[in-house]
Amino acid sequence: MNVTIEGQVFDVQSGVSCRDALKGALSGKKFKNVVACRCNGTPLDLTATVPADTTTIEPVFADSPEGIELIRHSAAHIMAEAVQKLFPGVKVTIGPAIDSGFYYDFDYERPFSVDDLEAIEAEMQKIVAAAHPFTRTEMTKDEAVALFEGMGETYKVEIVRDIPADTVSVYRSGDFVDLCRGPHIPDTSFVKAFKLLSVAGAYWRGDEKNRMLSRVYGTAFADPKALKDHLHQIEEAKRRDHRKLGQQLDLFAFHEDVAPGMVYWHPKGMLLRTILEDFLRKEHLKRGYELVQGPQLLRREVWEKSGHYDNYRENMYFTVIDDNAYGVKPMNCVSHMLIYKSHLRSYRDLPRRMFELGVVHRHEKSGVLHGLLRVRQFTQDDAHILCRPDQLEAEIIGVIALVRDLMGLFGFDYRIVISTRPEKSIGSDEDWDRATNALIGAVATAGLSYTINEGDGAFYGPKIDIKVTDAIGREWQLSTIQVDFTLPDRFDLVYIGQDGERHRPVMVHRAILGSLERFIGVLTEHFAGAFPTWIVPVQARLLTVTDAQNDFAMGARDQLVAAGLRVEADTRNEKLGYKVREAQLEKIPYILVVGDKEVEAGGVNVRLRNGENLGLKTLAEVAEMIRADCQEPFKRGGMSYSFS
RNA sequence: GCCCACAUAGCUCAGGCGGUAGAGCACUUCCUUGGUAAGGAAGAGGUCAUGAGUUCAAGUCUCAUUGUGGGCUCCA
């Protein structure tokens, strides 16, 4: 038969293995790099016979994304074999390849610890060196059940029973046998670079009602250099850790014994946060939002009415005041409803866009708290838009424009995910269709691409999630835009239409940065602590060479502060090198050195935080430079920055 | 919440087999006035997370509590 391989047509005899078919078609060097293949798109082992109707065979190379996944999955098998050898009686469960590596979950008499990793790794090295081939066997489910029951692998038996197909495949490599869809790499020696990274507990099937298993994480690559790069990337992420930087830069702290999961903002961090908040308020006012604020504590009855008491009680804090039960707000929407209801609204009044930097409390489980990224008290840049149905799409377009401008301002790339109606949901099909189409239409109008996440919407309406990518390629979800059909109903919100009748407004919940705490955490990691000049707490610091320049430096500082800049003077009795080092470590954008020469010339010597030296500048020039630097990011969006 | 690891000075960390606590940085004082990433000296600073237990004796061993870190399906 004629088969296309890498764009060329070859005559492949029937009954020939994929390995032999490819060997004849590829150069020796290329062939050595092949770990599996796809025949007419179906992934197969190299040992498989080329299927009769095959028209194309695509080699899967070790360094392709698919190849790396196979290597990782195979590494998981190798790890399981090593663990079985070292810890007799261990039961294996599942071990997939994941984005950054692989893991395998084990059930053993004791949990594994990081101290076990070294021994497991050494055992794996032996298996890799032995180059055991992976061999595939197909069998019926009953045969597989008997096989795994015979081995005492009860978890595997459970998995086999759950598989809908009639037959399953089993892979052997060395002494290890595992249920596996495949394909696999030809033999264990193809795992050329791997490392075990950590251990963790993990529930069987991710359900906390099930038994806790012992998970071992590792990663593997096609070659040692790629592994080294990956480990370097892990180090880089550590270097950018906002918890570490937050302490080094003295932005914020936690007092675990006083308020776990709640932030203490130190002066520098609070300054940064305040600049961000002020900017957000102004920007929202420019875009037709109104600033509002509701109370922290609301009577329990209102949470019952909103549905939070039924659906969200676990995450709420309650207290009793004068025999009345109160709930601390976990969301701002209820108050915004009440503000809407304070007047009878006309169709002419709509849309109303209510913006609140709302402080909310949510009782997150203790184990999920994580620096600023997961806290129990946080501030949302929250808004609720109440509009007529015919205004919905235009409103969403406005929100997306704001997302685009804000993400552009910080230099984040992002992608858009639209989630549609889930099985368990309320509202008419008509409402859902209209709202979902409005979301899709708005994203299309904005000229942005999106993906659809079928059935992942909230029970009360469809939503748009925006996932941003930071400077080192990690993805974060910040913004969310959700249409809500329930709350306007529950609170009986109305407006009087042109026809004189009462109508139900549509509600949109939206948060762009999400939580300010979380956003500042992400920003810190994104910029590795070197914040853009417009938002950095200290924009410039004057350093005196000796105390003879102290008066000049303090005068210069006052002048720059009066010009609206955030400037400090370091007049301590320390050597210049020492002061430079400190300012540099604090990632202050402009370091202004003042010695006798500068005093004489009436200026300062400018050093940037990247170490570059700009030489002597007048104070007016410095002020202009800093202002221009502040404006720079705003040129990308339709926004401006003011120094008031 | 659950599993593992961890909790010692403001910060980063040492403290063999149980015998009354140590460094660097930061801080205070003094000397030093030094031109772009750490000048020198002295001093002060700790109920070893909290509470029990074992022991003649606990930072060290055991248990509990609180908190922190890594995780808790990316479905063979």
Angle ∠(A520,A523,A526) on CA atoms, nearest 5: 155
Task: Note the pLDDT of residue A637.
Answer: 64
d(CA A482, CA A462): 6
A373, two tokens: 């990224």
Task: Note the pLDDT of residue A477.
Answer: 87
Q: Shortest CA–C1' contact from A367: which nucleotide?
A: B1
Q: Which residue has the tokens 């404006």?
A: A631
A362 is catalytic: yes
**Strands A2-5 and A34-39, bridge-based pairing:** unpaired
Cα dihedral sign, A609-A613-A619-A621: negative
Q: Which residue has the tokens 């949901």?
A: A425
User: Which is catalytic among the residues A382, A431, A465, A470?
Assistant: A382
Q: What is the mean pLDDT of chain A?
A: 90
Starting at the edge strand found earlier in the chain, the sheet holding A495-496 runs: A345-346, A495-496, A502-503
**Strands A540-544 and A590-594, bridge-based pairing:** parallel
Q: Which pLDDT band, with edges at 50, 70 and 90, does A334 fall under?
A: very high
User: A393, A506 in Cβ contact below 8 A?
Assistant: no
Is A276 strand, coil or helix?
helix
A271-306: pLDDT as tens digits:
999 999 999 999 999 999 999 999 999 999 999 988
A452, two tokens: 């659809």
Asked if strand B contacts A94 at the CB level, meaning under 7 A, the answer is: yes
A247 is catalytic: no
> Which strand B nucleotides have any atom less than 7 A from protein CB atoms?
1-5, 11-12, 31-39, 49, 66-76
Question: Averaged over A226-233, what is the pLDDT?
Answer: 84
Q: Which pLDDT band, with edges at 50, 70 and 90, does A546 fall under?
A: very high
Angle between helix A550-562 and A619-631 (nearest 10)? 40
User: Which is catalytic among the residues A333, A482, A484, A510?
Assistant: A333
Cβ neighbour number for residue A500 with a 10 Å cutoff: 6
Query: In Å, what is the separation between the CA of A378 and the C1' of B50?
Result: 28
Asked if strand B contacts A98 at the CB level, meaning under 7 A, the answer is: yes
A354-400: pLDDT as tens digits:
999 999 999 888 778 888 998 999 999 999 999 999 999 999 999 99
Q: Which pLDDT band, with edges at 50, 70 and 90, does A580 fall under?
A: very high
A333 is catalytic: yes
Query: In Å, what is the separation between the CA of A163 and the C1' of B6?
Result: 41
Cα dihedral sign, A431-A433-A434-A436: positive
Task: Note the pLDDT of residue A638.
Answer: 64
Is A532 strand, coil or helix?
coil
d(CA A251, CA A559): 26
Q: Is the pLDDT of residue A547 over 70?
A: yes
The percent of residues above 90 in pLDDT, for chain A, comes to 48
Q: How many whole angstroms from its chain centre is CA A21?
A: 43
Q: Which of residues 581-610 of A touch strand B (CB under 7 A)?
A: 581, 584-585, 591, 593, 595-598, 605, 607
Query: In Å, what is the separation between the CA of A373 and the C1' of B52?
Result: 36
Task: Note the pLDDT of residue A427.
Answer: 79
d(CA A482, CA A395): 12
Asked if strand B contacts A42 at the CB level, meaning under 7 A, the answer is: no
Dihedrals phi, psi of A578, to nearest 5 degrees: -65, -45
Give which of A581, A585, A584, A592 is closest to A555, Cα–Cα.
A592
E-strand ranges in A48-192 read: 56-61, 91-92, 97-98, 101-107, 134-140, 167-173, 176-179
Q: Shortest CA–C1' contact from A144: which nucleotide?
A: B76
By C-alpha to C1' distance, B50 is nearest to A257
User: A590, A606 in Cβ contact below 8 A?
Assistant: yes
A277, two tokens: 């908040």
A11 is catalytic: no
Q: Which pLDDT band, with edges at 50, 70 and 90, does A630 fall under?
A: very high
Per the document, the length of chain A is 644
Query: In Å, what is the separation between the CA of A41 and the C1' of B23?
Result: 63
Q: Which of residues 152-191 of A touch strand B (CB under 7 A)?
A: 159-160, 163, 165, 168-169, 178-181
Q: Shortest CA–C1' contact from A598: which nucleotide?
A: B35
A391, two tokens: 């205004």
User: A485, A461 in Cβ contact below 8 A?
Assistant: yes
d(CA A494, CA A496): 7
Name which of A72-86, A231-245, A584-598 the model is least confident about: A231-245
A454-478: pLDDT as tens digits:
888 887 889 999 998 888 778 888 9
User: A174, A81 in Cβ contact below 8 A?
Assistant: yes
Q: Which of residues 412-451 of A touch strand B (CB under 7 A)?
A: none
Asked if strand B contacts A254 at the CB level, meaning under 7 A, the answer is: yes
Q: Is the pLDDT of residue A643 over 70?
A: no
Task: Note the pLDDT of residue A175.
Answer: 85
Q: Which of residues 365-384 of A touch strand B (CB under 7 A)?
A: 365-371
Q: Bigger pLDDT: A504 or A210?
A: A504
User: A300, A309 in Cβ contact below 8 A?
Assistant: yes
Residue A222 per-residue DSSP state: S
Query: In Å, what is the separation between the CA of A596 and the C1' of B36?
Result: 15
Question: Averaged over A239-247, what is the pLDDT?
Answer: 90
Asked if strand B contacts A91 at the CB level, meaning under 7 A, the answer is: no
**Strands A463-469 and A450-453, bridge-based pairing:** unpaired
A29 is catalytic: no
A141-174: pLDDT as tens digits:
888 889 988 888 888 888 888 888 888 889 988 8
Query: In Å, what is the separation between the CA of A583 and the C1' of B38?
Result: 12
Question: Averaged over A131-139, what is the pLDDT?
Answer: 90
Kind and range of the H or E element at A302? Answer: helix A300-306
Q: Shortest CA–C1' contact from A217: which nucleotide?
A: B71
Residue A328 per-residue DSSP state: E
d(CA A634, CA A612): 24
A468, two tokens: 């941003």
d(CA A412, CA A211): 40
A539 is catalytic: no
A23-64: pLDDT as tens digits:
888 888 888 888 898 988 888 898 888 888 888 888 999 888
Asked if strand B contacts A99 at the CB level, meaning under 7 A, the answer is: yes
A511-524: buried (b, 16+ CB within 10 Å) or exposed (e) per residue? bbbbbbbbbbbbbb
E-strand ranges in A470-584 read: 475-484, 495-496, 502-503, 506-515, 540-544, 567-570
Asked if strand B contacts A457 at the CB level, meaning under 7 A, the answer is: no
A39 is catalytic: no
